[in-house]
Structure formats: structure tokens, C-alpha cells
Amino acid sequence: MSWENGLFIISTFLAVALAINNICLRKQNCSLKEDKLMNILRKETAMHLLNQMWKTAKRRKTSLAIIMVDIDQFKLYNDNYGHVKGDVCLSKVAEALKSQLRKADVIGRYGGEEIIIALPDTNEKDAMMIAKRLRLAVSNQRILHKGSQVSRYVTVSVGVCSAVPGEYALNIQKMIEYADEALYKVKSNGRNGEGFKAPGRVNDDAKVVTNIQVKLA
């Protein structure tokens, strides 16, 4: 073997090794950013992306929607079926939600059985349509929930807020709070539905006015 051939083989080997190492690092970084149980983003990563999406929407003057999803009476599910099946349930719910989202959308575990979703370029009407699709995707899985007072199957409640950053007196955290308020309005009205809390427009002569609309199944 010539010196040149030997050098080529060594260079090729090093290049392949470096490529494999980079792939391993990317997978490791992804695993650190994802919730291993639900296979969606961890809260910290999701919030980082949400803040970036807010800045982008503000710069482009486009709408951004925030959706909060909560599994109805999940504590009862754990009590009746155990935490192992509860974990399986969480994974199936997350998978159902992901199946309805676009590549540009962001989904993460906000805490416990609550999930946060961000939809770029999505107004109120479209966000509510997506919220309904998300809810139906979960219920259509027909995961038995014998302890539920809502349905024989696992269901979710969904809260929505959509706005064009800069046109409303709110920031990304306030949008999350509005979506959360809409979610809990749904839960207090019987669960298994979707609700929307509309932010008030910026007006120097008036206070911010909000209202919550709720649609139950």
C-alpha cells in the first residue's frame, strides 16, 4: 500500500468517525430536550422556542396561537389503572396530538398531564378548528377510562389564545395564562371541549377587555 493510499484511508476513517460522533451528539441533545415519557419537548425547551416564535411573529406582524391541553380526570385514571398504564396513556395522548400538528408547530409537556402547543401564523378561527381536531384525535383513540365522569374513554380539555404580537396588551406569558384560563373554563363547564380567551387590543383610552368562549363536545 502506498503512502498516499494509506493517508486516504486514514482520512476517510476519521471523517466517518466524526460524522458518527456528530450524529450521536445530536441524538443526545435531542434526548436532553425531550420528555422521555411523552416524546415531546420538555417545558424549558418548549418555552425557549415559544419566545423565539413570539419575536418572529412580532417582527412579521403575524398571528401566533397558544393551546393548552389537559387530560380530563387523569388522577382517577392513575388510581384505577395504576401509574404504569398511566404512563402509557400519556404517551398515546401525546402521539395523538402530534399527529394533528404541522412541522412548524411546537408541542411540549408543560407539567403533569398538561401540554402546551404553539401554532405560528394561526388566527382564532383556525386555532379553534385545530383545538377541536386535537380533542377528537385523543377521544378517537378510545382509551378506556372507567373512572371518568365525562366519557367511557380518555378525553381532553383544550384552551386557546391567539393574537398578533404588538396589537394586543400582552406578552407570551400572558398568552399562556389566557389559554390556561380558557382551559379551566372548559373544565369547570364539564370538560371534553375547547375554549378561547380573546385578548383586548391596545388602547390608551380603555382597559384591556377579555372574554372566554367555550364549546363542549
Q: Is 167 a catalytic residue?
A: no
- Maximum Cα interatomic distance, the chain, rounded to a whole number of Å: 85
Residue 50: partners with Cβ closer than 8 Å, 6 or more residues away: 66, 106, 116, 118, 172, 176
∠ Cα 143 149 150 (to 5°): 65
Task: Give 9-53 as a DSSP string.
Answer: HHHHHHHHHHHHHHHHHHHHHHHHHEETTTTEE-HHHHHHHHHHH
Catalytic choice (4, 34, 44, 113): 113
C-alpha cell at 103: 412541522
Query: Hey, which residues are catalytic here?
Result: 113
